Amino acid sequence: MSYSSEPSNGYIIYNANIYTSDDTLPKIESFVVMNGKFVDVGNKIDLMKKWNGLKCIDLQGRTILPGLIDAHVHLMGLGESLLSVNLVGTKSVEEVRERIREYINSHPEINITTDWITGWGWDQTQWKSKSFPTYEDLDCDPFIKKYSISLSRIDGHALLVNKNILDKLVNVPKTVEGGEIGRNRETNELTGIFIDNAMQLIKKIMPLPSEQLLLQQLRSAISKIHSFGLIGVHDAGIPLNILEFFKKVVNEQPEKFNIRNYAMIESLENTYNGDDVEIIEGLGDGRLTVRSVKFFMDGALGSWGAALLEPYSDDPTKQGLLISDPTLLPPVIKKWIDKGFQVNTHCIGDKANQLIINTYEQAFREYVLSQNEDKELTEQEVNDEMKKLAEKVRFRIEHAQILTLEDIKRIGRLNIIPSMQPTHATSDMSYAEQRLGNERIKGAYAWRSLIEAGVKAFPLSSDFPVESVNPFLGIHAAITRKWVNGQSPHGENGWFPSQKLTRQEALKGFTIDAAYAAFNEAIMGSISIGKYADFIVIDRDIMEISESEIVDTQVLKTVFGGKVVFGDLLF
């Protein structure tokens, strides 16, 4: 290959195995990059003649994909997790304590008086006990007892804190709407567990990170995602102070923000806070876009917080948690539509999903009627206008994890976009059937059923740091519905194999479909003329190799706007 030490304004990539995610020209061998954009595609002979004088780079048959997009992430959550106690994969509370001790010993700069030790990733479903831990599981170790410790469950929907933090709380309420405060059933003493909305009691007293720490977290997160070929993310719920931080970095240090972040404004109470934020379209040459809001309807399946129509099969005393009253949403949604914002709502359980589908449908209907007050529309005309509106605003359901079979059809009929995470299925499938029972599970993680219902796009994601950043694990899960060892609860053919995606569908889910779900299909998501020159070089052809080999895919180079941001050599 011919490389120079500095990136130029233009070059030709040729002799490559290129999957474009563009249905008009799905596979090519060469493309031209000029000033950070794809300006031509096709075969090498034609392009070399047409663009004579540009540097030519021989990829020697290597595979190229469009820069990958993860359609549901928590960017700063990843950065925080990378700089805190890693609890992912722990098999017991003893191992949790061991990792905390190791972290303390390796960070002598921790101020025992003012600093909190945070951690991410414990999952009681992977422990022998299967039950939630308590503060006593931390404080039984005298070495770590003297620190203030807050540990997030793997799904981000539960916190475990120790006694030092419990002692900082004042006037703890008996209950929290849309949340649960862990208490000992006999003594009513706080256990240290806070679920969903109750977590705000802890977050309100948590020390705010410095700007220096935020920069460290951002740098760590972006470096991580570049190493796995991601150049785009949909940041699923950011507070306004983080939005201001992002804007400052993009405006002052854009080289530290080499991603395309479609950021959703966080609305924890599902209210209208649009007066505090303006639409941002591609700030910093496409680095930051803000035109969506994220609502929350329920919790997560692993913490029994997903709101279900019927009680949990493995615990009939629980039916999940509704975080807010959906009947209050239609006028709020109308305000967001008027402002030009997309609405994306976290829904895991079938009750949460059904309620938000009802709410979206009601909001669409009321909006159409309000825009046609001087007309007498027939029911068919109302339905037609609702469908047009839905396609225009592209409302999403984040996760859409457990659905009734009828609600799957309604999602397609109403042009709602389901934003789903393949590795959630493979992480949950060891216990999901036990939680949901034999009938309800048929509408869970139902990818093929949703596509057959006619959804316009099927964006895929990881929800990192809940799951691994690695999108090739997501592609593997999507097409196999197996663990990485090739097994599943239903054997070697995969878990409910009729719901598998094809390789082409999985790749589109992490490229052009993800771009569509963020209104960005005209500027990214495929290797097409006029779009940002975001692409990756990988070490194998994931469309042809065996399924089991996909999980070992290595990214050789990640290119953002025509410039290499990961990999040893520059173009």
26: CATH:
2.30.40.10
pLDDT tens-place string over residues 228-258:
999 999 999 999 999 999 999 999 999 999 9
- Are 159 and 126 found together in one domain? yes
- Are 387 and 334 found together in one domain? yes
Work out how many domains the chain is built from and give that number: 3
Nearest to 138 by CA among 114, 107, 159: 159
**Arithmetic mean of pLDDT, 176-200:** 93
* Lowest-pLDDT range of 34-43, 105-114, 307-316, 447-456: 105-114
Question: For residue 496, what is the DSSP state?
Answer: S
Q: What is the pLDDT of residue 303?
A: 86
- Are 332 and 195 found together in one domain? no
Q: Left (φ > 0), alpha (ψ -120 to 50) or beta: where does 222 sit?
A: alpha
- Its domain, for residue 150, covers 77-203
Cβ burial 179-195 (10 Å sphere, 16+ → b, else e): bbbbeeeeeeebbbbbb
**What span, in angstroms and rounded, lies between the C-alpha atoms of 519 and 148?**
43
- Are 375 and 424 found together in one domain? yes
Mean pLDDT of the chain: 95
On the question of pLDDT at 101 being above 80, the answer is yes
Q: Is residue 424 part of a domain?
A: yes
| Residue of 501 and 177 predicted with greater confidence | 501
Q: Left (φ > 0), alpha (ψ -120 to 50) or beta: where does 35 sit?
A: left
Q: Is residue 58 part of a domain?
A: yes
Q: Is residue 291 part of a domain?
A: yes
Q: What is the pLDDT of residue 298?
A: 95
In order of 87, 98, 114, 117, 210, the CA distances from 148 in angstroms are 17, 16, 9, 6, 18
Nearest to 152 by CA among 195, 119, 105, 114: 119
Q: What is the pLDDT of residue 268?
A: 78
Q: What is the pLDDT of residue 569?
A: 62
- Are 470 and 495 found together in one domain? yes
Run of H or E residues at 294: strand 288-296
534: tokens are: 């975001």
- Are 362 and 475 found together in one domain? yes
- pTM for the whole structure: 0.91
Determine how many CB atoms are found less than 10 A away from the CB of residue 241: 10
543: tokens are: 């469309």
**What span, in angstroms and rounded, lies between the C-alpha atoms of 108 and 484?**
37
- Are 373 and 495 found together in one domain? yes
- Are 109 and 227 found together in one domain? no
Task: Tell me whether residue 378 is exposed, middle or buried, using C-beta atoms within 10 angstroms of its C-beta: 0 to 12, 13 to 18, 19 or more.
Answer: exposed
Q: What is the pLDDT of residue 4?
A: 37
Phi, psi at 536, each rounded to 5°? -135, 150
184: CATH:
3.10.310.70
